[in-house]
Structure 1
Amino acid sequence: MTRVFSLLAAGVLIAGLAQADPARWRPEWPETNFARTSIHDWSEIISCGPPKDGIPAIGAPGFLRAGDERRIGGREPVITVEIDGRTPRAYPIRYMTWHEIVNDRIGGVPVAVTFCPMCNSGMTFDRRVKGRVLSFGVSGKLRHSDMIMYDRQTQNWWQQAIGQGIVGEMTGVELRSLPSWMESWDQFRSRNPQGLVMAEPDHDRAYERNPYAGYDSSRQPFLYRGEDPPHGIPPLARVVRVGDRAWPLARIRDAGGVREAGVSISWQPGQASALDAGIIEKGRDVGMVRVRDVQGRDVPHDVMFAFAFHAFWPDGTWMVR
């Protein structure tokens, strides 16, 4: 599988570099203002194969009560979103892997639940920006192996891992991150028996399968040409990012959790990696993380691959001891 990824990456990388000039993208993106951007080196942006909306984001998803869901394996990961006063919702990674973005509304809050398989980044954002409610789609572009989203209202490009506009009129604008976390389906439904879980989308996909089997055991990330992380941390090791700090997941697991830098990070076993075995349920146990502040409130965070943290936070702090 590693060799397959390497060969595919080489082919896509060559094609992507050939299209590094944004002038080549203008026919597909006629409403995007490429003159306004925070990108200094256009070769960082690579066309990853599927065109704009070739990976279809989900809008207006359906939901089931947790007790009525029968498809999802107990160890499978879900992204949990709990907004005060509203029924908790779970977004299964088995669906997120194939669609990457879900545009939803929880009570009065329009949200974008996002997952980039290439860097294992799962973030939830408030879709309200400068008085408008944006709807996000998948551009078909990667930067540092992380998904570039776009919004349908302004055709602006947004970097998923950092939640920031990078091309277009919204360049430099930051989306507001909302607390969410990955946990096993068993964990979610035991805590929220009346909770809601996103229903299977009406698309022809093998949702129980992992199209990136073996990826998080690879030696190098897909379509990444940047530096490896410091401190001897493997590029595809998971880290817990809070702001501009990153804790190696192995350290948190071995310590049974940590309390420092104003946060409490807990870990417990029971969640399968979504990027390991061909059947998600059979993936190796990577455990579950929850991050809270000193008052016990959930804190926005990400459990991402180490290379992605280093790429987007080159001056970030590594909490290695």
Structure 2
Amino acid sequence: MKLSIYPFAILFLLFASCSGDDDVFDPRIQNPGNGNGACSFGGDWLIPRSNVFDGGPGCDGIPSLDNARFADQLSINFLTENSLLLAADDGLGKVKLYPHNILDWHEIINDEVDNQALAIVYCPLTGTGIGWDRTFGGETTSFGVSGLLYNTNIIPYDRKTGSNWSQQRMECVNGERAGETPATTNLVEVRWKDVSELFPNATVVSEQTGLSRNYTAYPYGDYRTNDNSIIFPIDTPDDRLPNKERVMGVIIDGEAKAYRFGSFSPNGWSLINDTFAGRELLVVGSQNPETMAVFDRELPDGTLLDLRLIDTDNTEFLTDQEGNVWDIFGRHLRGPRFGQRLNTPTAMMGYWFSWGTFYPGLEVFGE
């Protein structure tokens, strides 16, 4: 499949090459701001520095949200039925929702989730969103948007050390913490039309951010649906699937495997028992509602669970041969395994092209 970079981005790429720098202007930002954060770009990189592009807005030119306000669902009027949101488990019976409409403009939300300092890290250009623990070595930091991109994917920086992290590589790639990996929390991606059924009591990040942004508008034109539009260069194009197809990538020990919505029921939930990287996995998904999640079937004591769907309750989601009941986040609700939860390998939704370039040759389930 032929890829194209937006024409006005090409002009700035040419200008950058003439100036002897690999910085490029990023056409995706309408109001880039002053970029006055405390980033540091020097020193050694674990990725080729020549493949790290400056998006243009500067450090913190895209402002993270550090004091997000939440509202009940009835108060939200800036989302449409097909708007995507990221759901986080905020403790038993509580869920927080982070709309793409907000994240498209801010990319990072530093928050407290289930008594954990968590950064919601989202890249609009790769469609990937995940939670990162903000505590390292006993010290809590926050993450900001560095303005840099690798394989057209966000490079957040931590404000404690100024180190730069690759989101989809899941690793610090430059700075004092180079080589470290963040502890991750998987988020469940869901459409707004399905929220009231799946998460009836969830609260939602409000559009009252204190910043002047049009959260009803998508700032990147037809980027979400145009397979030929990739704004910045990528290392390894992979044309096995459409570039902008949303797939779930599961990452174990530096390897990834992709799962497609087409592998699941067109209406209602279905299950896939799979083996990947030596682990027994359960992948649960549906085309309607358009959602996927993944769990380890094997518990720390070696018990291999035979997990089955509970069809009558969206809170009580899975059961097993022991009579345990689990929710969609893997939290134990009732049964003999009190206090335990299902382990979840690192996973997130994202555009196919990004999985293909970060994990060349990755397996696609069913292909």
Q: Cα distance 1:199–1:14, how it changes in 2: closer, same or farther (>3 A)?
A: same
Q: CA deviation at 1:264?
A: 1.6
Q: CA deviation at 1:111?
A: 0.6
Structure 2: which amino acid aligns with 1:34? G
Alignment-derived partner of residue 327 in structure 2? none
Q: CA deviation at 1:185?
A: 1.9
Q: Cα distance 1:79–1:29, how it changes in 2: closer, same or farther (>3 A)?
A: closer
Local SS of the residue matching 2:6? helix
Local SS of the residue matching 1:57? coil
Contact 2:261–2:285, Cα closer than 8 Å, also in 1: no
Q: Deviations over 1:139-197 (max 9, x none)?
A: 11111000111111100001112331011011111011102111012322333332211
Contact 1:79–1:180, Cα closer than 8 Å, also in 2: yes
Report matched runs for 1:283-302 at 5 Å: 287-294=290-297, 297=330, 299=344, 300-302=346-348
Identity %: 21
Q: CA deviation at 1:50?
A: 1.1
Alignment-derived partner of residue 278 in structure 1? none
Alignment partners' CA distance in 2, 1:170 and 1:80: 28
Alignment-derived partner of residue 274 in structure 1? none
Alignment-derived partner of residue 252 in structure 1? 263
Q: CA deviation at 1:226?
A: 2.1
Of 126-135 and 79-88, more deviation after overlay is shown by 79-88
Of 236-245 and 133-142, more deviation after overlay is shown by 236-245
Q: Deviations over 1:117-139 (max 9, x none)?
A: 11111111111112111200101
Alignment partners' CA distance in 1, 2:124 and 2:352: 13
Q: TM-score, normalized by length of structure 2?
A: 0.73
Contact 2:259–2:365, Cα closer than 8 Å, also in 1: yes
Contact 2:247–2:259, Cα closer than 8 Å, also in 1: yes
Q: Report which structure shows greater RCO (CA 8 Å, sep ≥6).
A: 1
Contact 1:94–1:207, Cα closer than 8 Å, also in 2: yes
Q: Which runs of 4+ in 1 moved over 6 A?
A: 28-31
Contact 1:13–1:223, Cα closer than 8 Å, also in 2: no
Structure 1: 5+ residue stretches without partners: 22-27, 271-286
Q: CA deviation at 1:70?
A: 3.0
Alignment-derived partner of residue 195 in structure 1? 202
**Structure 2 residue 193 is matched with structure 1 residue 181:** no
Aligned length: 297
Tell me the C-alpha RMSD between the 2 structures. 2.8
Q: Cα distance 1:29–1:74, how it changes in 2: closer, same or farther (>3 A)?
A: closer
- More helix by proportion, 1 or 2? 1
Q: TM-score, normalized by length of structure 1?
A: 0.82
Q: Cα distance 1:15–1:267, how it changes in 2: closer, same or farther (>3 A)?
A: farther
Report matched runs for 1:116-127 at 5 Å: 116-127=123-134
Q: CA deviation at 1:53?
A: 0.9
Q: Bigger radius of gyration, 1 or 2?
A: 2
Alignment partners' CA distance in 1, 2:247 and 2:3: 25
User: Given the alignment, which residue of 165, 168, 179 partners 1:158?
Assistant: 165
Contact 2:88–2:113, Cα closer than 8 Å, also in 1: no
Alignment partners' CA distance in 2, 1:83 and 1:292: 18
Alignment-derived partner of residue 222 in structure 1? 231
Contact 2:39–2:59, Cα closer than 8 Å, also in 1: no
Alignment-derived partner of residue 10 in structure 1? 10
Structure 2: which amino acid aligns with 1:118? L
Contact 2:65–2:109, Cα closer than 8 Å, also in 1: yes
Report matched runs for 1:81-100 at 5 Å: 81-85=88-92, 87-100=94-107
Report matched runs for 1:18-167 at 5 Å: 18-20=20-22, 32=40, 34-39=42-47, 41-85=48-92, 87-167=94-174
Structure 2: 5+ residue stretches without partners: 24-35, 276-280, 298-304, 306-317, 319-329, 331-341
